[in-house]
Structure 1
Amino acid sequence: MSTNNRIFSLDLLRVIACYLVIQVHAGEFYYINADGTIPMGDNPYWVNLFNSIGRAAVPLFVMITGFFVLPVKDNMADFFKKRFTRVVIPFVIWCVLYAFYKLIMGDADVQATLVNILKIPVNFGTEVGHLWYVYMLIGLYLFFPIISPWIKSASQKALLFYLVIWVFTLFLPYIHLVFPEILGECYWNNTPMLYYFSGLLGFAVLGAYLKKYHMENKKSDMLLGSLLLIVGFAVTVLVFRQRLSTETIVADVELSWGYGTVNVAMMALGIFFIFKNLTCKECVLSRTVTDISNMSYGMYLAHIMLLNFFYSVFDGMTDNVCIKLPVISVCTFITTYILIKILSYLPKSKYLIG
């Protein structure tokens, strides 16, 4: 536990996940062509080594969300008011800001900018892909009050029943290499037998399960976490590397980077076990970690603008992606935090940064 009734280890996990997201997005400059193909050369291989572990970031965010939110304790009206005020309003504001950002950068004219703003209720408003996460998060919040009574009353065996089936669905991306259609899948049916057990909801339930049954400090946690992380990382890297030699489309190469894969889940769970009982006395470090954790949603929303800036600054300075990728990522992380911290002093800043 940390001071101020916070859990330092989970604040730290949120900070790590926030940085990893930024590094993953920085890596996209070096392994994705404009047409969605993989560029030639060694850069994709180095990005694979740097960013495979970064695929655990979103599952970690969702696990932490499930840890703190499930089961929902507020009545439905209060829950939605609290969560959607801090999530939806900043999201809409940043969608508008990104529309004008595209205009300023010369990627859209005035008419296209107005259309992008009007499109916000449909999808993004403008093509800023990282905002997909907010739609997913809103979907989880809509479902949490529905699933909460079960989470609250379910026995450990009942929770494990769900999680075991969910874990099986994490193997489906690889099973599909052998059986493209399985358990009722076909071109006219996209809701096969285990559809309702799959997806990122599983990480939220996992977070709630870990809070209830696995937060005690055990000597085996570090060993278990390290094994899960090492094996998950190795599988993620090796599968990605193998597919680089056989596939040319990003979506096909990224098989082992999917959030619904067992290796990514292993990395996320491994990182969780390594850090879950880490403590820190009240000091500058603990306060800084807590503050960055509090700013992480705003940082997620805003970081692409600064990421693009630092890419333009550092990309031409060297051909070595092993230098450029971490430098761009760290600079983006630090300056985005500073920006959001400054914005946090504005009146009603929660409507801007969450």
Structure 2
Amino acid sequence: MTAQSVSIQPVASAKPDGVQRGQRVAWADLCRVVAIYGVILIHSCGAAFYAFGKSPLTDWLSANALDSVVRVAVPLFVMISGAMLLKPGMPIATPRDILRRVLKVLIPLIFWSAAHLYRNNALGSYGEGLLTIFTQPAMYHLWFVYMIVGLYLLLPFFQAIYEALRTKPALSVYFFVVWFVITCVPLYWPLRVLGIMQQGSFLGYGGFFILGGLINGIRRESIPRWLCVAVYAACSAITFYLTWRFSEQAGVAVERAYVYFTPNVVIGTIAAFLAFSTIELSGRPAAFFQWLGDRSFIIFFVHVVVLEHVRYSATIRMLTEHLPMFFVILLISLSTFFFSCLIAAVIRLIPGASRVAG
């Protein structure tokens, strides 16, 4: 998919500093694992999605449906990160704190960029090809890590905004409305007045980050989970319908409704975030998702290569020869997820691997 369709490790690393383990983090681990699978599923849909007009419509509709359902995966990561890093009373991050967080992400980025460049014969005799990562990602999915670095650099400002908003519901709503109108609405309905006001953008992914912290701080006992699920499902259906409509009008696959800042994806993400936050986990399930979520960064880095091998393997082709496209995509994505998890688990057995590989 395009750069904006690709993803991910949560901005607040798999083991957020200073966060107590409990049900809240357990639901965040569950959400993180579901989201990383969602990213893999998005990429597994790519081939069938871009074959619009060249393959049976039912195949394309299957890819569109699955992609629409997990389109919230990337912004969910950012909201989880905001929920983990923006908490009442937390001290404002110092330059040393920022550097430490950036290095936790930057070192694995350099390592995996070098690995991808080497695999693509683009590293160069003396590694000079690695300098290209300062102008463009080594692989299409790595754009997300660069965004993470940007959010880390702005963390003190996000903390200040969060502190100013968290005890003022009316101001929080005002913040969301302004961010939504400037960042999201123009994707469907361009507002010329914003151009006249010289307000072309506002915080970008930082809006998701702050929303994660704010929503995590509200009382959610009175929020019906069924309502959150219903809103999420409705937004996914809208994403599916608009993508189908836009693609039919253009005669090619159009990702306009997939963009992470579209109103349908934003509202669907908030609903999904709220639904996950109402889930209580403990014992072995909580430990399992914590273990798996802790390896999500490595899963993110390796899954695109694993996906290539899985998609074109003779075994998968034989198993999916007579299956509908819907199940073909599911089998490919689940296989990719499984083998990526296995690779991540093996890598983590190497002493010190978490510092280098994530």
Structure 1 residue 75 displacement after superposition: 3.5
Q: Tell me, in whole angstroms, the C-alpha distance in 1 between the residues paired with 2:218 and 2:331.
A: 39
Give the one of 330, 333, 348 matched to 2:352.
Answer: 348
Structure 1 residue 134 displacement after superposition: 0.7
Judged with a 3 Å threshold, the aligned counterparts in structure 2 of structure 1 residues 277 and 78 are, in CA distance, closer, same or farther, namely farther
Judged with a 3 Å threshold, the aligned counterparts in structure 2 of structure 1 residues 112 and 271 are, in CA distance, closer, same or farther, namely farther
Judged with a 3 Å threshold, the aligned counterparts in structure 2 of structure 1 residues 292 and 113 are, in CA distance, closer, same or farther, namely farther
List runs of 5+ in structure 1 lacking aligned partners. 186-190
Q: Tell me, in whole angstroms, the C-alpha distance in 2 between the residues paired with 1:329 and 1:182.
A: 43
Structure 1 residue 223 displacement after superposition: 3.0
Question: Contact 1:56/1:259 (CA < 8 Å) preserved in 2?
Answer: yes
- Cα deviations by residue, 1:218-240 (Å, 9 ceiling, x for unpaired): 2x331330232122111101001
Query: Taking structure 2 as the reference length, what is the TM-score of the superposition?
Result: 0.84
Provide the residue aligned with 1:229 in structure 2: 232
Q: Tell me, in whole angstroms, the C-alpha distance in 2 between the residues paired with 1:300 and 1:78.
A: 27
- Cα deviations by residue, 1:263-295 (Å, 9 ceiling, x for unpaired): 101221121122212112212x22211111111
Structure 1 residue 111 displacement after superposition: 4.7
Alignment of 1:264-275 (within 5 A): 264-275=265-276
Total equivalences in the alignment: 330
Q: Tell me, in whole angstroms, the C-alpha distance in 1 between the residues paired with 2:91 and 2:275.
A: 28
Judged with a 3 Å threshold, the aligned counterparts in structure 2 of structure 1 residues 89 and 5 are, in CA distance, closer, same or farther, namely farther
Give the one of 37, 40, 47 matched to 2:63.
Answer: 47
Give the one of 79, 82, 89 matched to 2:107.
Answer: 89
Q: Tell me, in whole angstroms, the C-alpha distance in 2 between the residues paired with 1:77 and 1:5.
A: 31
Instruction: Give 2:269's aligned amino acid.
Output: A
List runs of 5+ in structure 2 lacking aligned partners. 1-18
Give the one of 210, 214, 228 matched to 1:209.
Answer: 214
Question: Contact 2:243/2:256 (CA < 8 Å) preserved in 1?
Answer: yes
Provide the residue aligned with 2:277 in structure 1: 276
Provide the residue aligned with 2:189 in structure 1: 175
Provide the residue aligned with 2:96 in structure 1: 78
Structure 1 residue 352 displacement after superposition: 2.8
Q: Tell me, in whole angstroms, the C-alpha distance in 2 between the residues paired with 1:112 and 1:184.
A: 48
Residue identity (%)? 22
Alignment of 1:1-354 (within 5 A): 7-32=25-50, 39-42=54-57, 43-70=59-86, 73=91, 75-103=93-121, 111=124, 114=127, 116-124=129-137, 126=138, 128-154=139-165, 155-168=168-181, 169-176=183-190, 181=192, 183-184=194-195, 192-197=198-203, 199-214=204-219, 216-218=220-222, 220-250=223-253, 253-283=254-284, 285-313=285-313, 314-315=316-317, 317-318=320-321, 320-354=324-358
Instruction: Give 2:218's aligned amino acid.
Output: Y
Secondary structure of 2:243's match? helix
Instruction: Give 1:172's aligned amino acid.
Output: P
